[in-house]
């Protein structure tokens, strides 16, 4: 492994605070850490706080990690109810298109993820209700985890951006078996770079959570990393076999995945590492983790839909 989890001249593991810039607790954009297509900004807002940004050549979703907010994009306003934190509920979100002038404001304050991807098409600004986020259980046994398909390729329309949340109970392995998506092979593998943003639940005694992330090179000189990660850390994966993501016992693990690539076809097609692909065949003989799901998405309202209420 390259010293410090580096490939030549570039840092792949960004500890909490190490990627801060201006108003952002984390600011990762194309040109940083080997990224060419996707972005992730983490925006803390105090009560009554307000932030403006230009979407530029990227499409974005504004996703509350904690708290709620109002999002205005080119004169259209969306109220996001948000959630107390990522371990208790699915959140609603807002999609804003490339070229938009965006304002995020929060009466009560909170922490908000701005996940972006360079794109070509300019789609309309939209509200994504929490009840419209499919909650999926993936894996089994000690590989069981929960996936909130916020802006998955087959769930929510975007041009290039893919964003999902993964929750892994303490002691389990996630992103496993190791897999990759760094080559364009039609019908078999997508070329997608990826950002992981972590949050670790504190133990009952209040101890800070910890987890581990492995990325192995899939080509000579590729990304090679073994990192101890904590809340607020990010890992950038422009290439390579990624996984496992290991949650320490007693600490549930959350990560936000942001993906994008250069090809117009927006699909998440992966190739499992050949040494570990057999693991998937064992899941049908195992029970899922009884701790899952940590929570479900809320039911759709019986009256006017949230999409109608927040056009």
Which helix (H) or strand (E) element contains residue 282?
none
Give residue 124's Cα distance to chain centre. 22
CB 115 within 8 A of CB 63: yes
Rg (CA), the chain: 18
Burial string for 220-234 (b: 16+ CB within 10 Å, else e) reads eebbbbebebbbbbb
The span from the CA of 212 to the CA of 146, in Å, is: 18
List pLDDT tens digits, range 12-66: 999 999 999 999 999 999 988 889 999 999 999 999 999 999 999 999 999 999 9
Measure Cα distances from 175 to 89, 166, 195, 310 in Å.
21, 9, 13, 34
Q: In the prediction, which pLDDT does 308 show?
A: 34
- Tokens representing residue 70 in the block: 């109002």
**Both structure tokens of 303:** 């009256």
Pairing of strands 189-191, 162-168: unpaired
Tokens of 182: 């760094």
Q: What is the pLDDT along the chain (311 residues), one digit of tens a residue?
A: 443 444 433 589 999 999 999 999 999 999 888 899 999 999 999 999 999 999 999 999 999 999 999 999 988 999 999 999 999 999 999 999 999 999 999 999 999 999 999 999 999 999 999 999 999 999 999 999 999 999 999 999 999 999 999 999 999 999 999 999 999 999 999 999 999 999 999 876 678 899 999 999 999 999 999 999 999 999 999 999 999 999 999 999 999 999 999 999 999 999 999 999 999 999 999 999 999 999 999 998 863 333 333 33
Cα–Cα distance for residue pair 90/309, rounded to 1 Å:
19
At residue 64, the pLDDT reads 98
Query: What CA–CA distance (Å, rounded) separates 210 from 199?
Result: 9
pLDDT in tens, 172-207: 999 999 999 999 999 999 999 999 999 999 876 678
- Residue 70 burial by Cβ neighbours in a 10 Å radius (0-12, 13-18, 19+): middle
Q: Model-level pTM?
A: 0.93
Tell whether omega for the bond before 244 is within 30 degrees of 0, i.e. cis. yes
Long-range contacts of 77-80 (CB under 8 A, 24+ apart): 78/125, 78/127, 78/310, 79/310
pLDDT in the model for residue 9 = 34
CA atoms within 13 A on the CB side of 297: 21
């Amino acid at each position: 492994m390259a010293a410090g989890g580096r490939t030549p001249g570039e840092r792949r593991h960004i500890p909490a605070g190490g990627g801060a810039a201006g108003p952002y607790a984390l600011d990762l954009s194309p040109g940083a850490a080997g990224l060419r297509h996707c972005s992730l900004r983490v925006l803390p807002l105090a009560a009554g706080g307000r932030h403006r940004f230009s979407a530029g050549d990227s499409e974005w979703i504004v996703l509350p990690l904690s708290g709620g907010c109002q999002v205005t994009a080119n004169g259209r306003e969306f109220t996001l109810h948000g959630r107390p934190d990522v371990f208790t509920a699915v959140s609603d979100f807002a999609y804003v298109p490339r070229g938009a002038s965006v304002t995020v404001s929060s009466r009560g304050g909170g922490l908000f993820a701005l996940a972006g991807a360079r794109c070509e098409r300019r789609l309309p600004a939209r509200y994504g209700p929490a009840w419209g986020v499919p909650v999926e259980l993936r894996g089994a046994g000690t590989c069981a985890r929960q996936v909130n398909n916020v802006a998955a390729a087959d769930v929510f329309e975007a041009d290039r951006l893919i964003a999902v949340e993964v929750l892994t109970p303490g002691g389990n392995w996630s992103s496993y078996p190791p897999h990759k998506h760094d080559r364009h092979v039609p019908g078999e593998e997508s070329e997608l770079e990826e950002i992981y943003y972590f949050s670790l639940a504190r133990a009952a005694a209040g101890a800070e959570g910890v987890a581990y992330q492995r990325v192995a090179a899939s080509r000579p000189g590729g990304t090679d990393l073994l990192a101890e990660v904590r809340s607020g850390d990010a890992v950038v994966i422009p290439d390579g076999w990624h996984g496992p993501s290991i949650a320490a016992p007693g600490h549930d693990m959350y990560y936000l995945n942001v993906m994008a690539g250069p090809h117009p076809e927006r699909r998440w097609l992966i190739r499992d590492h050949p040494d570990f692909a057999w693991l998937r065949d064992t899941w049908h003989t195992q029970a899922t983790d009884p701790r899952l799901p940590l929570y479900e998405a809320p039911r759709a309202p019986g009256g006017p839909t949230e999409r109608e209420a927040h056009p």
